[in-house]
Amino acid sequence: MKSYLYVFAVIFSLVVSAQEKQPVESFTKNVDGRAKVFGKNNTSIVYSAIFKISGTGCKPSKKLPVTVVLPPNSEIELYDMIPLKNKKWNCGTNYTYVTGNVKAKPNRSFVYDLPYDIGSAFKITQGYFGKFSHQKKYSLDFIMPEGTPIHAIRAGTVIKIKKDSNTGCPTKKCVNEANYIWITHKDGTIAEYAHLQFNGTHLKVGDTVKKGEKVGLSGNTGFSENPHLHLEVFVIKISGEKITIQTKFRVANNKSLILKKGDNYTKL
């Protein structure tokens, strides 16, 4: 999550220092004598952003800040910047952004597949609201050997990956060392598959995956006591906070269940 400030030195002209193109940008167009501010997504995945005016000498045409969901490779008109009389123009746009759809409306009746091979069975070692690291989280830990194939629990698009870590430990000092994949679904929810092994995925951001497709290999990276897969489904907030969601999974005999700590579940 980053923030960039663009300062207008002359009315309707945008002055920016040279820099790499960012995933999300703001820019201004002079349309019929009005300075119209746009948000732009330069990527093939969904981002959300919150925009507001910074500086002095102008006012917005609508109440700010404004939060928008930016579809892949899109531009969205946000608001006009109206100059104030007898005031020196020194206006710009300040914004922050996150990966994903902050306005997602989860389909809470959806039944997910188990995240491993058909015929395999694994045990839940930490369930929802677990005492070790799942406090106040609808998260699941499946105990499994490193290198176990992980499969998509639902179809979607890859929006975030970390796979360069070879470090893990049972304390929070390793929390940022976990390798992971984020896959967003049709309803805007995101599944996180975490603690993957070093270079434990062949996928890249923007790839689409089918339900049941292999997405990576389990590992023991990050804040982890032993090799396992951490799995959660969540919606993202503009602050970057994850709001996890209680989910049901399809198990033997085509039943749908909320998985519980201590139980083994076979994928059929």
pLDDT tens readout for residues 6-32: 333 333 333 333 356 799 999 999 887
pLDDT tens readout for residues 97-141: 999 999 999 999 999 999 999 999 999 998 887 676 666 889 899
pLDDT tens readout for residues 215-249: 999 999 998 989 999 999 999 999 999 999 999 99
What would the DSSP string read from start to end of the chain? --EEEEEEEETTEEE----PPPSEEEEEEEETTEEEEEEEE-SSS-EEEEEEEEEESEEESS-S-EEEEE-TT-EEEEEEEEEPTT---EEEEEEEEEES-TT----TT-EEPPSS-TT-EEEEEE-TT-SSS-TT--EEEEE--TT-EEE-SS-EEEEEEE-----EESSGGGGGG-EEEEEE-TTS-EEEEEEEPTT-----TT-EE-TT-EEEEBB--EE-SSSEEEEEEEEE-TTS-EEE---EEE-GGG-EE---TT-EEE--
Domains of the chain: 3-99 (2.60.40), 111-266 (2.70.70.10)
Average pLDDT score over the chain: 89
The model carries a pTM of 0.87
